[in-house]
Amino acid sequence: MNTIDLESILGGDDNGDYRFGYVALIGRPNVGKSTLLNQLLGQKVSIVTHKPQTTRQRVAGIKTTDEGQVVYLDTPGIHKSTGRALNKYMNRVALATFRDVEAVLFLVEAGRWNRQDRKIAELLSALEVPVFLVINKVDMIEHKQELLTFVTEVSSEGEWDQVFMISALKGDGVADIEAKLMDVLPFSRPFYDGDQITDRSERFLAAELLREALTLRLHQELPYALTVEIEQFKREGGMVRIGAVIWVERDSQKQIVIGKGGQVLKQVGKQAREAMEALFEQKVFLQTFVKVSKDWSRSERAMERMGFDE
């Protein structure tokens, strides 16, 4: 990754025409917010799976160019709360994020507009910052007339500053969003160093990569009943040593995560370790332990102990 020399771009104390701002990625679960963030950054910061509500905490992705610095805030999908503390927490994080940004990207899935989307649109209508409707997964619509009809319908559901049609996975249309943001963000010096890509710690990223591997490997509801806590993160001798605890809510879930003869945990650990090595660009020694904390997702106190912060 090329390092951006911000001082040479900014020319000392003069801001010139450099831009800086925060942009929220908002939408219901599984519309592609994390995929879009990773595409914007050109590398992986947010984990991605096929399961809704994979993103649980706000993640900032920082994109620095010669024209400006944009901090994209990936948020949990806004959804109908089930009463669990975890679900309420995710909604609070998402709703708080878009109240203090310079622009909002409201993601919806091409061909699907439901009550959740409409509710979010109503919330966004009260904002005084630019709100851009981003219709994602357009490559999944086979008949273009069907897509055009959908675009016409959802465009009338709110007063959008602009409507974009994209494929976050393939990158189609993403550059148009970036160009527009450079037109609307305020002139300002950047807040972050030119080579920084996220505000999250390496411990957080390691935990997320392990949780991603678990979510991809396990089925049904179990991924929603587990979380990961990093107890040790130490660099020594050209290697990163990581000790991780996988918390579940039942003894029966613990056995599923470990698998017969420890095979599931072994496979998950291998996948997560390889992802960590790619991110940290160092060899990783990963130790994993599975422990039970009964109904942790229903307890705000337990969640705080496990690193959920707002």
Confidence band, pLDDT 50/70/90 cuts, at residue 183 = very high
Contacts 24+ apart (CB under 8 A), 250-256: 250/225, 250/292, 250/294, 251/292, 253/222, 253/225, 253/226, 253/292, 254/290, 254/291, 254/292, 256/218, 256/222
Residue 1 has pLDDT above 50, yes or no: no
> Same CATH fold, 202-305 and 6-184?
no
If you average pLDDT over residues 97-102, what whole number do you get?
86
Q: Say which residue, 10 or 277, is predicted with more confidence.
A: 277
Q: Residue 227: pLDDT above 90?
A: yes
The answer to whether 249 and 271 are in contact (CB under 8 A) is no
Average pLDDT over residues 253-257: 94
Whole-number Å distance between alpha carbons of 259 and 257: 6
Tokens 């660009």 found at: 281
Give the alpha-carbon dihedral of 203, 206, 211, 214, to 10 degrees. Answer: -140
pLDDT at 5: 62
List, for residues 229-241, the tens digit of each pLDDT value.
999 999 998 899 9
What number of residues does the chain have?
Answer: 310
CA distance 54 to 50: 8
Whether the CB-CB separation of 68 and 185 falls below 8 Å is answered with yes
If phi > 0 it is left, if psi is from -120 to 50 it is alpha, else beta; for residue 168 that is: alpha
Helices of type H across 143-245:
144-155, 174-184, 202-217
Instruction: List the domain boundaries for the chain.
Output: 6-184, 202-305
Are 305 and 261 within 8 A, CB to CB?
no
3-state secondary structure (DSSP) of residue 244? strand
pLDDT (tens digit, 9 = 90+) per residue, 118-166? 999 999 999 999 999 999 999 999 888 999 999 999 999 999 999 999 9
What share of the chain has pLDDT > 90, as a percent? 71
Poorest-pLDDT segment among 36-45, 67-76, 86-95, 185-194:
86-95
Q: Within 13 Å, how many C-alpha atoms sit on residue 124's CB side?
A: 32
Pick the closest to residue 240 from 197, 281, 289, 200 (CA basis). 281
* For residues 207-233, average pLDDT: 90
Q: What's the CA gap between 231 and 274, in Å, rounded? A: 19
Cβ contact 95:124 at 8 Å: no
For residue 81, the model assigns a pLDDT of: 67
Nearest to 29 by CA among 94, 79, 83: 79
CATH 3.30.300.20 assigned to 202-305:
yes
- What is the rounded distance in angstroms from the CA atom of residue 8 to the CA atom of residue 95? 37
- Do 151 and 173 contact (CB within 8 A), yes or no? no
Average pLDDT, the chain: 90
CA 163, CA 38: separation in Å to the nearest integer? 21
* CATH architecture, domain 6-184: 3-Layer(aba) Sandwich (3.40)
252-258 average pLDDT score: 94
Q: If pLDDT is split at 50, 70 and 90, which confidence band does 4 have?
A: low
Other C-beta atoms within 10 Å of 169: how many? 16
* Secondary structure (DSSP) of 262-301: GHHHHHHHHHHHHHHHHHHTSEEEEEEEEEE-TTGGG-HH
Residue 32 has pLDDT above 60, yes or no: yes
Is 82 a residue whose pLDDT tops 70?
A: no
Adjacency order of strands within the sheet including 162-165: 59-64, 68-74, 19-26, 103-109, 131-136, 162-165
Is the pLDDT at 15 greater than 80, yes or no? no
Does 248 score more than 50 pLDDT? Answer: yes
Model confidence pLDDT, tens digit, residues 49-65: 888 778 888 899 999 99
Q: What is the rounded CA–CA span in Å between residue 246 and residue 139?
A: 36
